[in-house]
Amino acid sequence: MPRVRTLIRSGLGSALLAFTALSSPLASAQETAQASAVRPALWKVADEDTTIWLFGTIHVLPEQVDWYAGPVAKALDSAQELVTEIPIDDTEQAQGTILQMAARKDGKSLRDTLSAKERTAYEGALTSIGIPAQAFDANDAWFAALMLTLIPLKTAGYSTETGIDQQVAARARARHLANHAFETVDYQIGLFDNLSEPTQRAYLDEVVEALPDVKTDVDRMVAAWKAGDADHLAELMNEDESDPEIRKVLITDRNANWAKWLKARLDKPGTVFVAVGAGHLAGPGSVQDQLAAAGVSSTRVQ
């Protein structure tokens, strides 16, 4: 399921965090469950007077995990600035932005743009997760694909409340840390909305085909993240990815932009904690690779 993997790898935080708008009867039970200890990956970039910590997050998790320990806790506690994908207080805005951008502007129904074969498979996928066939008729294909990925995860108990981003944000607010965001909500959702129509259709087709296995696939990625196995995480996320537009727009270009900002940030003294989707810090074209290409080295700490 290349598109599902790419969605998770791309770490589109605003899209996933806006998913809190969907109800989850399992959330309270998860919040009271005992947290399991994990050792997610952490990297350090530093010069004489600046330290930048690179920490990969998982936006949604099925259970509480004890991530705030050891080098990660020390790194966050020492930081004067938190860097995230979008501003930590813009989650509510993201919900409205998604709905606005996802609205079709061609006057057509989404299902009417699909071939007979595609439509049958798409309607069957919606029915299989208890969603009316007309649910996303007024939306673009990328939005339907996004929902077909996220709704089964939510049903399976995945929640942003147990995800890492919200917990990092809460600790940053408690300490009144400065927050720099690499991107705005509009820009991030616009990455999906501006994908070409053929790419959006291919994205939806592959998500529909992969739907029965989405939870198993994401479970494997979460397990690799918990173990701090960045190499295996990259393998899982990169497997079978074949669309150059998806890879360039959602991953490579963004990593290059972020690395450029991080290199420039080394010119200013201080300690910075960067918390972005884990896929951006794993595999070919990662932020670390982009930094290395610019002559900046990173060291694995955990």
Q: Which tens digits make up the pLDDT trace of 11-69?
A: 555 555 554 444 333 333 344 445 677 999 999 999 999 999 999 999 889 989 999 99
3-state secondary structure of 277: strand
Lowest mean pLDDT among 27-36, 162-171, 229-238: 27-36
Number of structural domains the chain divides into:
1
Q: Which tens digits make up the pLDDT trace of 93-141?
A: 778 888 899 999 999 999 999 999 999 999 999 999 999 999 999 999 9
Question: What pLDDT is attached to residue 145?
Answer: 92
The answer to whether position 6 is within a domain reads yes
Beta strands in 35-182 (DSSP E): 36-37, 42-46, 50-57, 65-66, 81-84, 178-181
CB 263 within 8 A of CB 291: yes
Instruction: Report phi then psi at 36, rounded to 5.
Output: -95, 145
List all residues 6 or more positions away from 175 whose beta carbon is below 8 Å from its beta carbon: none
The answer to whether position 250 is within a domain reads yes
Question: What pLDDT is attached to residue 14?
Answer: 52
pLDDT of 8 higher than 70: no
The answer to whether position 188 is within a domain reads yes
- Give strand pairing partners of 66: 37
Question: What pLDDT is attached to residue 31?
Answer: 42
The answer to whether position 131 is within a domain reads no
Mean pLDDT, the chain, integer: 87
pLDDT of 229 higher than 60: yes
Question: What pLDDT is attached to residue 2?
Answer: 45
pLDDT of 9 higher than 60: no
The confidence band for 5, taking pLDDT boundaries of 50, 70 and 90, is: low
What mean pLDDT is predicted for residues 151-178?
A: 92
The confidence band for 207, taking pLDDT boundaries of 50, 70 and 90, is: very high
Question: What pLDDT is attached to residue 13?
Answer: 55
What mean pLDDT is predicted for residues 200-228?
A: 91
| Gap between the Cα atoms of 255 and 110, Å rounded | 32
pLDDT of 209 higher than 50: yes
Question: What pLDDT is attached to residue 1?
Answer: 42
The answer to whether position 152 is within a domain reads yes
Tell me which residue range forms the domain holding 49: 2-107+138-300
Question: What pLDDT is attached to residue 95?
Answer: 80
The answer to whether position 116 is within a domain reads no
Kindly compute the dihedral angle of the four CA atoms of residues 223, 226, 231, 236, in this order, to the nearest 10 degrees: 30
What mean pLDDT is predicted for residues 238-247?
A: 70
Question: What pLDDT is attached to residue 23?
Answer: 37
What mean pLDDT is predicted for residues 265-275?
A: 98
The answer to whether position 76 is within a domain reads yes
Joined together, the tokens standing for residue 77 give 């506690």
| Gap between the Cα atoms of 137 and 139, Å rounded | 6
What mean pLDDT is predicted for residues 215-238?
A: 88
The answer to whether position 184 is within a domain reads yes
